[in-house]
Structure 1
Amino acid sequence: MFRLALAATVLMAAPVHAAETKEQSCQYQADVVAAIQQARLDRVKERDVPAAIAKTGPDWPENYNAAIPLITPWVYEQKMRDVRKKDLSAAWLELCLQQ
């Protein structure tokens, strides 16, 4: 959970486009989590996650790529059964919006 809070704090402190709302920022963060979760499901090695996600051409602003190395360990610490069955991005979005 500490990593979750740290990554959210880093992203919220990063310079963002003036039109970006907290809700949009949290959604981008949740999209990052979903991409990492998919990488885990695709059996991408943890150290290769940033490159694997970059190859997919994500549509979030580039500054959110900085969160990938911060969030990846959290996703990879989860039990595989939870990664398969739980929506980690929805959990992230909910926590982010509460901050």
Structure 2
Amino acid sequence: MSYFEDDYGTDMEAIETLRRDADLEQAAMEREGNRLAALRRRGICTHGSVVGYVGKVIYPEQEGLKPGQSRCTEGTNGCKRVFNSDEEWVAAMEAL
């Protein structure tokens, strides 16, 4: 067996591994999307969208926010919950 054939086999194995990993990652993202969609159908806000304080009011949802705060704006019926930091917002999403 020549060096080229060994290298080609290794390259092909690496490509197949990357494809499999991408397929697994895509499947995991699809499962997560389906899980979040099911929560939304049940009326549970997943806090998937927020608007934050930027020093001036651009959107009505920013009214009353202080530096570091953000407000949930998910869909047409976001819960309007105010988060005091990005960490608090992420924790709320991860708690679901």
Task: Decide: shared fold, TM above 0.5.
Answer: no
- Structure with greater strand share of residues: 2
Which one scores higher on RCO, CA 8 angstroms, separation ≥ 6?
A: 1
- Structure with greater helix share of residues: 1
Larger CA Rg, structure 1 vs 2 = 2
TM-score normalized by the length of structure 1: 0.29
